[in-house]
Amino acid sequence: MSSNNLSGPIPRQILNITSLRQLDLSNVSLNGCLPKDICSHNNLQRLKLLSLGSNKLEGDIPLSLGQCTQLESVDLSWNNFGGNVPREIGNITQLKELDLRYNNLKGMVLSLYY
């Protein structure tokens, strides 16, 4: 669904798709914040790819992102995320790619190379 005319906040209904493996909403003019419970209570527990780059998302990266332990690739680049990079991202043991470039984040993230 990347690069289409979708805009506005991330639809909460997406969190209810428990079998979802890939979510690519990059470059579609999304705005607002990531839901605080994005990966809690069985939300998106099977997700392997989360690509939300090149949007207008803002706020903190939710701590619950670390509960999506099956994630292999996360792209949150080119947004307006702020605050600290959550340590909970370290719980995502399958993670091979993490792109947080071009945000207003603080803190340190080790580079991942595989």
- Give me the CATH number covering residue 70: 3.80.10.10
User: What does the pLDDT look like over 6-58, one tens digit per residue?
Assistant: 788 998 899 888 899 999 999 999 999 999 999 987 889 899 999 999 999 99
pLDDT on residue 113: 47
Domain assignment of residue 5, yes or no: no
The predicted model gives 73-77 an average pLDDT of 97
Q: Pick from 24, 34, 103, 22: which is nearest to 62 by CA? A: 34
Domain assignment of residue 113, yes or no: no
Domain assignment of residue 114, yes or no: no
| Structural domain of 31 | 12-104
Domains of the chain: total: 1
Domain assignment of residue 64, yes or no: yes
Domain assignment of residue 29, yes or no: yes
Q: Sheet holding 31-33: strands in order across? A: 31-33, 56-59, 80-84, 104-106
Q: Cα separation of 15 and 32, whole Å?
A: 16
DSSP 30: B
Domain assignment of residue 7, yes or no: no
Paired residues of 80 in beta bridges: 58
